[in-house]
Amino acid sequence: MIAIHVNGKEVEIEREMSIEELLQTVEVPKNYLAVEVNEDVVAKEDHGKVMVNEGDRVEVVTLVGGG
């Protein structure tokens, strides 16, 4: 098992995987806008290429309205 952090919570995944796979594996908001890995924004077209590894910090960013 590999330990990573997703939106500040520690999560264990079975193996290294792409962001695309990760988004299907863990709970993420359906209306997410962007994904950061270790504070670097990953373009949507690269989600299948960029791998998540042990200790990585993944943030799934959503639009929040306010006023």
Burial (CB < 10 A; 0-12, 13-18, 19+), residue 52, is: buried
Sequence-distant (6+) residues with CB within 8 A of 38 are 56, 57
Would you say residue 3 has pLDDT above 70?
A: yes
Residue spans of the domains in the chain: they are: 2-62
Mean pLDDT of 14-23: 94
* Structure confidence at residue 67 as a pLDDT band (50, 70, 90): low
Q: pLDDT of 21-64, one tens digit each?
A: 999 888 777 777 899 999 999 999 999 999 999 999 999 988 67
Does 3.40.710.10 match the CATH number of domain 2-62? no
pLDDT at 53: 96
pLDDT at 65: 66
